[in-house]
Copies of this chain bind each other. A is one copy, B any other.
Amino acid sequence: MSIVVLGTVALDSVKTPSGTRKHILGGSAVHFAMSARLFVPVNLVAIVGEDFPAKYLNFLQRKGIILSSVLRTAGKTFRWKGEYRGDLNTAITLSTELGVLLTFRPRISEAQRNIKHIFLANLDPDIQSHLLTQIRSPHLVALDSMNYWIAHKRKSLLKLLKKVDIYVANDQEARQLSGESNLIKAARQLYAYGPKMILIKKGEHGVLFYGDKFIFSIPAYPTEKVVDPTGAGDTFAGGFMGYLTKVKRIDEVSLKKAIAYGTVAASFNVQGFGLNKTASLKLQDLETRLKKFRKIIHF
């Protein structure tokens, strides 16, 4: 079993109370892949520009990520510049340069069209939809989005949600799309839009899962040293989807465990800039932290 992730490959410039980094490797699909690769082979579907450093492609390849559907075209790689202050809960976007993303039409190979587990990371819902139509018989499709698309492409997004099994959103996005401030009510409304499972990420406050059969809620793994939260949500999604794909079961037990794996994966991500911590992770590191996590939250 392997997985397809569609999303951004980015050059991130970030400032946090711990320091500043310029043009480091980032993007939703990259953070997802760096965590999902611990469980299953990951097929990255993305686009980069001519300016994209070869060392980053080599790095991703060394990590075992399948890059055959990463397009490299004329133009500039997507760049994001942001800052975190205070409790580091909210990113302040300073600039976004879409570059080659503007012309992105994802293409995958014949073999990849047969893959059944798909993660549509944050991108224009029309691009997400374009990728999804290429998948022959999707079995588990999760989708992430963001405030911009909720505001500007609401119709496309709602249409796409009907074809999706899991909608992954942060708390602000969940409230924005549903119009409900209480997160359980928000989840119920989002559920009514189509996805059978709703995963609401609350940053340092953890995750709420809402499904037709059960709800599940865990806090974040308590981390004293938050260096850079960029990509934490996608790292979470990577652990979550990676685990589910590996165990080939989607039931209460596996979903809960997948959420726990995603949570500990995200806790490593925030402890370093960019991919500093997740690049060197082994599955054993997740297992060890998962055991600690269970002790921290079980009574």
Contact = CB atoms under 8 A, between A and B. Distances in A.
Contacts of A259: 299
Taken together, the copies of this chain in the complex come to 2
Given A205-B219, A219-B205, A222-B208, A299 B182 contact: no
A116 interface: no
A95 interface: no
Given A86-B181, A181-B87, A222-B217, A299 B208 contact: no
B296 A216 contact: yes
Interface string A283-299: 00000000000111111
Contacts of A113: none
Nearest to A221: B217
B295 A299 contact: no
B299 A256 contact: yes
Nearest to A225: B182
A47 interface: no
Interface in A199-223: 202, 204-206, 208, 214-219, 222-223
Interface string A36-79: 00000000000000000000000000000000000000000000
A246 interface: no
A191 to B, nearest CB: 13
Contact of A297 (B183, B202, B218, B295): B218
Interface of A: 86-88, 181-185, 188, 202, 204-206, 208, 214-219, 222-224, 226, 253, 256-257, 259-260, 294-299
